[in-house]
Structure 1
C-alpha cells in the first residue's frame, strides 16, 4: 500500500471506532429524563453571574423573572464589576416585569486565585444560602429560559431517577444565524459531545463527568459536599470542573441537550467565535506542549486526512486511498448530521466538517501561542495567564 492509502485506512479505522465505541456521541437524543411532578416542589435560588451584560439582560432576565414555578424561587444576580450599568438595568427590568424576587449585588474584584465568574458565583451562592434553598440554578446572563424551564429541571432532578440527580445540566441551544455561526457553532457542541459523550456522563458509576455552564441545576447539599465553588475557584472550564467535583464527592449527574433553553449571545463574525473558543482551548490540553504536539497531527488524521487522501487518490489513481478516504469522510459527515438537524441547519453542511475542524485546529494553536505570550484565557478585560485546567480522569 502507498503512504496515502495507509493514512486513509488509518483514518477510516479511527472513524469506525468513533462511530461505535465513543459512547454514541453523535446521537442527539439525550434530553431531560422522563419525569413527573414531585409531591412537594423544593425551594430554588437562581444565581446569575453578570459582567457587562447590558446587551443580553433585556432578553435573558425577563425569561427568568417569568418562570412559572410552583415552589419558592428567588433570583440573585451578581454584578461582576460591570462598566455598562448591568446592575441598574437588572433592577429596572425587575420593576418593569415583576415575577420572581430579584436581588442584585456586587462582590468587587475577585481575590487572587479566583476566576471572575466563579468569584461572582461564590458571592451569589453565599447570599442564596441565607434562604436555605434546596436547589441552586446556576445560569449565565446570556441564557433565555422558557417559562417552564425551572419546573422541568427540578422535576427531572427529583423524579428522573429513583434516587434523584444531584446535578442536572442542559447544553443551551446556541445562536445560529450568521454564516460563521452556521459553520462553527453546531460543530462546537459536536466536538464537546465527542470529548464527553453524554451517555457516559449520564451512566451511573461512569468516570466521565461534564456539564454545560449556562444551565446547571445543583442540589445545595451536593454543592456543600463538593465545596462548590471553592474547590474549582481557578477553573476556566468551570462547568466540567464543577461536574467532576460533584461526581467525585458521590453525586449523580446528568447532562443533555436543551429544547427550551437558548443562548442569546451573538457571534456574528469569525473573530468573535475565534476568541470564544481559543480562550479555553489550550486549557483543555492542560497547557501541555506535549499534548498539543499530539493533538495537531491527531486532528489532522481524523478530520483532514479523509478529503485529502480522497483527492490524492483520485489524482494518482490509488483506488484504496479513494475508497478508504471517501468512506472515512462519509462516516464523519454521517455522524455530524444529527447535530445539524438539532440546530435546524441544512445537511449539506456535513461534508464541510473538515473545514471547521481546520479552523478549530488553528484556534487551538493560537490559544497556545497566546498563553505563551501571557494572554491566555482573556475574557471581558480579564486575563488568566495560567488558569487551572478542567480536571480529567
Structure 2
C-alpha cells in the first residue's frame, strides 16, 4: 500500500510538471522565442537631441572596451555623454577623461554626485545626478546605459528611430552578455531565459498589458516620460531598478518595449561560478519582495518545473513505473526544446540544453542564499555597498 502511494505521488507530481511545461510553452507569451528584436523603424526628418547617462563605480577594468563605443556613436542629431563617477577608488573618472581625449567623438562630461543619502541605492543616486545635468540641455531623450555596455556605432540612431516610429516612451535592449568561460556558458543564457519567462517580451510591448520590464544596461527613455514617472526618485531604493523603472513608466501611461539586442554587448566578465553567484544572489530575494512565503513558493515551483522531470526519468523505472518515466521524459523534452532558441542566440552548443535542470538547481540555491544573506543583515551587496533592507520592486497594480 505504501509503495503504491509513493508511485501515485510521483506519477501525479510528474504529470503536474508536464502540464506546467505545456502551459509555459503555449500560454506564457511564447517567452522561449528569441525573435523579439528592435522593432520596425524609419529615420525621422529631424533627429531629436539625446543625453547619454552612464553611472560608473570602479569600472576602470571595462571602460576601455565600452566608453569608446559611446564616444564613436554615428548620430545625426545632437548627443552628449554624462559619465557619473559614483565614488570610484580605481580612477574611473580620470580614465574616462583620458579615453575621451584619446578617441574624441561625442562630448563627455564627468561628474560625481558624492555618497548617496539614506534611502537611495548608489546607482540610482548617480543616475539622478546625471539626469539633472542632462535636463539643463533640454534633451528629448535620455539613454541610460551601464559602464560595461559596448554599443555598435549606429546603436543610438537605431534606438531613437525605433522609439519615434513606434511612439515608445521607453525602448530597452537586453545586451548580449559575455559567454566565454565554462560557467558563463552554463549559467548566462539561462539567466536571460529565466528573465524572459518571468517577463515575456511580447507582452511588455503590448499596449494595455500589465507586464513591464526593461534591461538596465540599455534604456532609451523619453525625457518627458521620465519626468512624468518621477524617474529615478520614485524608484530610489529599488535594487532591481530596471524592472522598477519600466513599471513606473507604464504606470504613468507610457508605452514601453523590450527585446534582445543585436549589437549591444556586455563586456563584463564572470569567469568563475562565485562571480555569477554574486550577480544573481544579490537581488534574487528582493525580486521576491523579501517574503518567506514567496521564497517557499519559488523553491517549490523551480523544483516542480525543472527538477521533477529528470528525477522522474530516473526514479520511474526504479519503482517499476515506466509511464511516469515517459511523462517525465516528455516534460524534459519540452523544457529542452524551449531552451534551444536561447542557446542559438548565444551561439552555444545545443548539448547544453538538456543540462537546464542542473542550471535551474544552481539558481534555486542562489535564491535561497540571497534570502540567507538578507537575514544575516548583508542584504544586496555590490562594490563595497550593502543595502540591508532595499525596497522590493513596486507592484504592477
Match of 1:109 in 2: 115
| Aligned counterpart for 2:309 among listed residues 306, 309, 314 | 306
What does residue range 88-107 of structure 1 map to in structure 2 within 5 Å? 88-107=94-113
Match of 2:376 in 1: 373
Match of 2:342 in 1: 339
Task: Write the deviation string for residues 347-388 of structure 1: whole angstroms up to 9, x where unpaired.
Answer: 110000000000000000000000000101100000001111
- Once residues 320 and 21 of structure 1 are traced to their aligned partners in structure 2, the CA distance between those partners, rounded to angstroms, is 26
Match of 1:213 in 2: 216
- Are residues 1:144 and 2:147 paired? no
- Once residues 144 and 317 of structure 1 are traced to their aligned partners in structure 2, the CA distance between those partners, rounded to angstroms, is 55
**TM-score (norm. length: structure 1):** 0.99
What does residue range 352-371 of structure 1 map to in structure 2 within 5 Å? 352-371=355-374
Where 1:2 maps in the other structure, the secondary structure is: helix
Q: CA deviation at 1:392?
A: 2.9
Q: CA deviation at 1:314?
A: 2.1
- Are residues 1:242 and 2:245 paired? yes
Where 2:230 maps in the other structure, the secondary structure is: coil
Match of 2:40 in 1: 34
Q: CA deviation at 1:286?
A: 0.3
Match of 1:62 in 2: 68
Figure out how many residues of one structure are paired with residues of the other and give that number. Answer: 390
Match of 1:9 in 2: 15
Where 1:96 maps in the other structure, the secondary structure is: helix
- Are residues 1:228 and 2:234 paired? no
Q: CA deviation at 1:316?
A: 2.3
Task: Write the deviation string for residues 255-288 of structure 1: whole angstroms up to 9, x where unpaired.
Answer: 0000010000000000000000000000010000
- Once residues 135 and 321 of structure 1 are traced to their aligned partners in structure 2, the CA distance between those partners, rounded to angstroms, is 55
- Once residues 387 and 317 of structure 2 are traced to their aligned partners in structure 1, the CA distance between those partners, rounded to angstroms, is 47
Where 1:378 maps in the other structure, the secondary structure is: strand
Match of 2:354 in 1: 351
Q: CA deviation at 1:202?
A: 0.7
Where 2:173 maps in the other structure, the secondary structure is: strand
Which consecutive segments of 4 or more residues in structure 1 shift more than 6 A? none
- Once residues 277 and 253 of structure 1 are traced to their aligned partners in structure 2, the CA distance between those partners, rounded to angstroms, is 25
Task: Write the deviation string for residues 121-171 of structure 1: whole angstroms up to 9, x where unpaired.
Answer: 000000000000000000000000000000100000001x2xx10000000
Q: CA deviation at 1:295?
A: 1.1
- Are residues 1:120 and 2:123 paired? no
Match of 1:19 in 2: 25
- Are residues 1:168 and 2:171 paired? yes
- Once residues 244 and 93 of structure 1 are traced to their aligned partners in structure 2, the CA distance between those partners, rounded to angstroms, is 35
- Once residues 293 and 364 of structure 2 are traced to their aligned partners in structure 1, the CA distance between those partners, rounded to angstroms, is 15
Q: CA deviation at 1:317?
A: 2.5
Gap regions ≥5 residues in structure 1: none
RMSD: 0.6
Q: CA deviation at 1:344?
A: 0.3
Q: CA deviation at 1:2?
A: 1.9
Where 1:185 maps in the other structure, the secondary structure is: helix
Task: Write the deviation string for residues 160-200 of structure 1: whole angstroms up to 9, x where unpaired.
Answer: x2xx1000000000000000000000000000000000000
- Once residues 10 and 226 of structure 2 are traced to their aligned partners in structure 1, the CA distance between those partners, rounded to angstroms, is 52
| Aligned counterpart for 1:76 among listed residues 79, 82, 91 | 82
| Aligned counterpart for 1:158 among listed residues 160, 164, 169 | 164
- Once residues 156 and 204 of structure 2 are traced to their aligned partners in structure 1, the CA distance between those partners, rounded to angstroms, is 22
Q: CA deviation at 1:102?
A: 0.1
Q: CA deviation at 1:6?
A: 1.1
- Once residues 285 and 259 of structure 2 are traced to their aligned partners in structure 1, the CA distance between those partners, rounded to angstroms, is 25
- Once residues 198 and 393 of structure 2 are traced to their aligned partners in structure 1, the CA distance between those partners, rounded to angstroms, is 12
| Aligned counterpart for 1:186 among listed residues 179, 185, 189 | 189
- Are residues 1:392 and 2:391 paired? no
Where 2:16 maps in the other structure, the secondary structure is: helix
**TM-score (norm. length: structure 2):** 0.98
- Once residues 15 and 250 of structure 1 are traced to their aligned partners in structure 2, the CA distance between those partners, rounded to angstroms, is 33
Gap regions ≥5 residues in structure 2: 1-6
